[in-house]
Structure 1
Amino acid sequence: MKKPIRIAVVDDHAMVREGFISRLKENEELEVVLDAGNGIELLEKLKKRTVDVVLLDLEMPEMDGFETTEKLSQKYPDIKTIIVSSHNEEAFINHLLKNGARGFILKENGSETLVDAIYSVIENGYYFNDRISKAMLNGLLKSETIKPSFNKVDLTPREIEIIRLMSKEYTTREIAEKLFVSIRTIDGHRERIFEKTKARNAIGIIMYAVKHNLLD
């Protein structure tokens, strides 16, 4: 059995921390090894415990999430920091990325998104929710602000064609109509694309495609 992913949960509200811990306990491959109420407490606890991923709130007393992200990047560059916030503005995401953040989820996101984000930063280096604009994502990739670690895999010509249509924001139904096949057929292709690339959502697919020059 492989070692679980070790997680720290950081939020100044104890009930929020308990909620995250409860949700993560449902997955045997994830282990919350510490929690903290602010950045100072987190950094103190990291002297004694090793973690792989930090789930980090932004608005905290003493040391907020912005400063904590920067400190983590400087002192613990191997730790993947996922920002948990109600904010989703591009300038805000850009700033945190430059200071070392690796993922962004919204506070209202469910357990499935939370778990996907954790696996994605471990496997591929980054996680973004589907609300990030494609233009911003392309800019981040081309400027090398982010360098996702997707390994190149063998894709069929049809799978590459579907990825290109996904990158243009075609829905599954629209892709099926354009390629003159059933929605079920496209669903099958999409499932294999996600399985092969290890992407966790459509944004992950686009990161893979840009990294490996698959887009027109």
Structure 2
Amino acid sequence: MVTKYRIVLVDDHEVVRLGLKSLLEHRENFEVVGEAASAREAVEQVARHRPDIVLMDIRLPGASGIEACEEITTQYPNTRVIMLTSYAEDEMLFSAIRAGASGYVLKQIAGEDLIKAIEAVGKGEALLDPAVTQRVFQEVRRAVKEEEASAFANLSQQERHVLMLVSEGKTNREIAKALFLGEGTVRNYVSSILSKLGVSNRAEAAAYAVEHNLKEYL
């Protein structure tokens, strides 16, 4: 038995909606149950029809498609939203993801690829247009780097060096020799590091250093 997806189309251009409707209704597993030209109409159509998927433009008169997406995904969690847009702007992309969109597709997409995207989202997958996927990975990597860096924000450069040697299993005497410091000074550094990191012993400090890639922040 063919799984049939009930779809609401949201775009303020009637010609675009007609084109999408014509494309989708040629497939036996798609049924366009509603159309909307604004964010408010989109929410109303979803409330009325409880579709499986909303195909929504980001740029709409009044409230944006992103605002409508957030409202829909919050109130109707079984409805998945695909943002269909002419824009590959980073802020829009990440705003759409934060709003709960399951897909982000550029309008330049080929018809057959759009069909596949809708089917993928209908099956519960998340989907990004290949043109923006690399940006997501770059943003994720940047966010990870920021989080890692913040993990050592309270440590001085010297404390980071001491922590690095602690993570390598060095004793206070060995650290003192390597950094040309007094053993008592190293002991004070280690005590300060444990306090700042909120850990109770050298082993925990070493594990923390490894987990947050201390080597990259020396």
TM interval, shorter chain, is 0.5 to 0.7
2:53 corresponds in structure 1 to 53
2:168 corresponds in structure 1 to none
| Deviations 1:35-57 (CA, angstroms, capped at 9, x unpaired) | 11111112222232120110101
By how many angstroms is 1:139 displaced?
5.7
1:94 corresponds in structure 2 to 94
State the 4+ residue runs in structure 1 displaced beyond 6 angstroms.
none
- How many equivalent pairs are there? 144
2:71 corresponds in structure 1 to 71
Instruction: Give unpaired runs (5+ residues) of structure 1.
Output: 144-216
- The alignment partner of 2:48 has SS state of coil
1:202 corresponds in structure 2 to none
Pick closer, same or farther for the CA change 1:7–1:72 going to 2, 3 Å: same
| Deviations 1:171-194 (CA, angstroms, capped at 9, x unpaired) | xxxxxxxxxxxxxxxxxxxxxxxx
Quote the Cα distance in structure 2 between the aligned partners of 1:89 and 1:100.
Answer: 17
Query: 1:106 corresponds to which letter in structure 2?
Result: L
Do the aligned residues in 1 keep the contact of 2:8 with 2:46 (CA within 8 Å)?
no
Query: 2:78 corresponds to which letter in structure 1?
Result: D
Pick closer, same or farther for the CA change 1:136–1:21 going to 2, 3 Å: same
Quote the Cα distance in structure 1 between the aligned partners of 2:100 and 2:120.
Answer: 16
Query: 2:103 corresponds to which letter in structure 1?
Result: G
Do the aligned residues in 1 keep the contact of 2:8 with 2:45 (CA within 8 Å)?
no
Q: Which has the larger radius of gyration?
A: 2
Q: What CA RMSD, in Å, does the superposition of the two structures yield over aligned residues?
A: 2.3
Q: How does 1:56-205 map to 2 (within 5 A)?
A: 56-134=56-134, 136-137=136-137, 140=140
By how many angstroms is 1:114 displaced?
1.0
- The alignment partner of 1:136 has SS state of helix
Query: 1:40 corresponds to which letter in structure 2?
Result: R
By how many angstroms is 1:84 displaced?
0.8
By how many angstroms is 1:8 displaced?
0.5
**Identity across the alignment (%):** 30
Instruction: Give unpaired runs (5+ residues) of structure 2.
Output: 144-218
Quote the Cα distance in structure 1 between the aligned partners of 2:95 and 2:42.
Answer: 21
1:22 corresponds in structure 2 to 22
- The alignment partner of 2:118 has SS state of helix
Pick closer, same or farther for the CA change 1:25–1:140 going to 2, 3 Å: farther
By how many angstroms is 1:93 displaced?
1.2
Quote the Cα distance in structure 1 between the aligned partners of 2:102 and 2:58.
Answer: 14
Pick closer, same or farther for the CA change 1:137–1:121 going to 2, 3 Å: farther
Pick closer, same or farther for the CA change 1:71–1:108 going to 2, 3 Å: same
Pick closer, same or farther for the CA change 1:133–1:22 going to 2, 3 Å: closer
- The alignment partner of 1:115 has SS state of helix
| Deviations 1:120-149 (CA, angstroms, capped at 9, x unpaired) | 1122421112112446337659x8xxxxxx
Q: Is the helix fraction higher in 1 or 2?
A: 2
By how many angstroms is 1:108 displaced?
1.9
Query: 1:6 corresponds to which letter in structure 2?
Result: R
Quote the Cα distance in structure 1 between the aligned partners of 2:134 and 2:45.
Answer: 38
